[in-house]
Chain A
Amino acid sequence: MSMEDLYQEIVLEHSKRPRNRRAIPQASHRAKGHNPLCGDEIEVYLKVEDERIVDLSFQGQGCAISTASASLMSESLTGLSLVEARQRFAEMMTLLKDAGVPVDASKWGDLAAVIGVRRYPGRIKCASLAWHALQGALDGRPESTTE
C-alpha cells in the first residue's frame, strides 16, 4: 500500500474542504477530543431530537486524516439514532484496531478510505480522534482523549 492509497482523492478532498466544520449554537451535546501525541484538538457538536442525531458538526484543526475522518463522520452519522451511532462508533474502533476485520464498503462508503489508516499504527489515533470526541459527547464527558 502506497501513500497515495491512504491519501486517496476522497480523503484529500474532505481534508481540504471539510463538511460541517462549524459550531452548532443550540447543540444538545458537545465535547472536545484531544490527541496528546500530536496536540490536535477537535470539538464535536450534536443536535439530538427524539433520540436521533439531526445535526452533527465539528471544529478544530488537525491533519488530513483526522479532518477527513471528522468530516466523513459528520455526514455518515447524521440521521442515525443514538443507538445506531454508538453501534457505529464501536464498529469503527474495531475496524481501526484490527486490520484483519474486513470493511463492508456498502456500509462504510467513503469512510472506508479513512479506515485504510489502520495499516499505519502511528496514524490510527488521527482517524479515531473525532470519534472519541463523539463518544464523549454522547456520554456527557466534556473532554476525551485518544489515549
Chain B
Amino acid sequence: MMTRPTTESQGFSVEAVRADFPILRTEVNGQPLAYFDNAATSQKPQAVIDRMTAYYSTENANIHRGVHALSQAATEAYEAARKVVARFIGAPESREVIFTRGTTEAINLVASGLGQTVLQKGDTILLTELEHHANIVPWQLLAERKGLRIEVAPVFDTGALDVEGMKAKIVASAPKVVAFSHASNAVGCINPARELIDAAHSAGALVVLDGAQSTAHFPVNVADLDCDFFAFSGHKVFGPTGIGALYGKADLLGSLPPYQGGGDMIEKVSFKGTSFRGLPERFEAGTPNIAGAIGLAAAMVYVDGLGREALDAQERALVEYALDALTSVKGVRVLGGDGPRVSLVSFLMDGVHPHDIASFLDAEGIAVRTGHHCAQPLMERLGIPGTTRASFAFYNTFAEIDRLVKGLHRIQKVFGS
C-alpha cells in the first residue's frame, strides 16, 4: 500500500480540523463514523452551528422594510452573507447572487426565465449524459411546455465526459442553451468548464454551469470561467440545508422575468398592475432562508480561513490514496476515467451489488452512497444498475480509507464463490 502523503507542511492538520466537526465524534453501529457521503451532503463545522444558533438566539427578525433594530441587524447580516457568497465564487457583484433553496431551485429558476425570453419553439438545449436529474428534468419540463429539443453530449464507457464529442455536438446542434455539470456527482470527473464554455459561446449559446460538486472541492471563479449562470447548494459546502445560490451575469439575470411572485420582490403592487424590483430582490419572493444564508456565509468564512488551496491539496491526496488502495481489491473497477477528478471514487465490484456493499460497510460505521446517484441516464448508458460511491472531504483521513478497503476485502471474502 502506498505511503500516506502528508499535508502538514502546508499548515494543515486533519486532527485539528476534525475537532471542528462535532458529528465526526459520533459512533455508528459501535464503530467510529467514517463519513464518505460528502457528495450528497457535507458535515457542518461548529462555526456554522454556532452562527445559526446566535442568529436565532439574538438577531432573529424578518428582513427588509423593518424600522426596528433587530430587523435592521438581520437585513445587514443577510446582505453581508450575499457578499461573502459572491466573493467565494468570484462573482463581480453581489447583486448577481440570488439565494435559492439549492442547486435544484437555481436551475429551475434559470430554466423558467430563459424559457420566457431566449428560448423559442424548436430551439435546442444541450445537456450531457452525465447530468444529475436536477440538470435534466427542469429542462425536460420546459422542453415539453415550449416545444424545445433536447440534445445530449456523450460520455465514454468510463462515464467521463467525451469533451471533443461535446464540442462537436455544440457545433452540430447549434443550441441556444448549454447546461452541464462542472464536476460529476456520479463518477467524479471534473469537466473542462472554461474550454466548453468558450465553445458554447462561439456557437452563440448561453451556458448554465451546475456547480453542486465543484464549489465545495476547489476554488471556483465564475468570472474567470465566463459562465452565464452558475448554480450550487450550500449544504454541500459545509453550510446548512435549504440554502444555495444562482449566480447570473447582471445583464442576463436582469433580463429574466420574475420566477415566483410575492412579497419582497415587488416595487409597487396594485390591481391595475405590479412593478418589480431589480436584482437580486426580483428573484427572492417571500421571506427567504435568512438563517440559512447566514450559516452558509459562516461556512465559507470557515473554509477560507483554513485555506482553499490547502483543503484542495488534502482532498487530492485522499482521492489519490483511495484510487491506489482500491487497485488492491480484486474485481473493483473505478469509474470516471483518468482525467482530473473531485475527491470521490465511484466503483463497481464483480459479483457484488452496491446495496450489499453498503450494508456491510454501514455495519462497520462506514457511510457510502449506492445506487444511481440521481443520474439514471448515465447508469443506463453504462449498462449498470448503480455504483458504490465514497466521496471525501478534507476532514477524512487515510486511516478511514484503510477501513474502507479492509471492508471491501471482507465483502469479497463473503461473496467470493
Contacts and interface: CB of A to CB of B under 8 A. Distances in A.
Interface of A: 2-4, 6-7, 12, 16, 37-40, 61-65, 120, 122-123, 126
A45 B3 CA distance: 53
Given A3-B363, A16-B417, A39 B356 contact: no
5 contacts: A12-B415, A16-B415, A39-B372, A62-B385, A64-B356
B242 interface: no
A38 B385 contact: yes
Interface residues of B, number: 19
Contacts of A12: 414-415
B359 interface: yes
B104 interface: no
B414 A40 contact: no
A39 B376 contact: yes
Contacts of B154: none
Which of B359, B376, B414 counts the most A-chain CB atoms under 10 A from its CB? B359
B386 A38 contact: yes
A39 B360 CA distance: 20
Contacts, number: 49
Contacts of A65: 355-356
Which of A6, A63, A120, A122 counts the most B-chain CB atoms under 10 A from its CB? A63
B206 interface: no
Interface in B367-408: 370-372, 376, 379, 385-386
B353 interface: yes
B370 A38 contact: yes
Contacts of A39: 371-372, 376, 379, 385-386
A126 B356 CA distance: 10
B385 A40 contact: yes
Which of B360, B379, B385, B415 counts the most A-chain CB atoms under 10 A from its CB? B385
B37 to A, nearest CB: 13
A73 B26 CA distance: 39
Contacts of B379: 39
A67 B30 CA distance: 29
A38 B374 CA distance: 10
Q: Which 8 A-B pairs have the closest CB atoms?
A: A63-B353, A63-B355, A3-B363, A64-B356, A39-B372, A38-B371, A39-B385, A63-B356
A51 to B, nearest CB: 35
A120 B352 CA distance: 18
Nearest to B417: A16
Nearest to B358: A122
Contacts of B352: 64
A62 B371 CA distance: 11
A6 B385 contact: no
Given A12-B414, A12-B415, A39-B379, A64 B360 contact: no
Which of B356, B360, B371 counts the most A-chain CB atoms under 10 A from its CB? B356
Interface string B121-165: 000000000000000000000000000000000000000000000
Contact of A126 (B355, B360, B386, B414): B355
Contacts of A16: 351, 415, 417
Contacts of B363: 2-3
Contacts of B415: 12, 16, 64
Given A3-B363, A39-B371, 11 more contacts: A4-B414, A7-B356, A7-B414, A12-B414, A38-B354, A38-B385, A39-B376, A39-B385, A63-B353, A64-B415, A65-B356
A16 B352 CA distance: 10
A122 B355 CA distance: 9
B347 to A, nearest CB: 16
A123 B356 CA distance: 9
A115 to B, nearest CB: 16
Contact of B355 (A2, A3, A4, A123): A123
A3 B417 contact: no
Contacts of B354: 38, 63
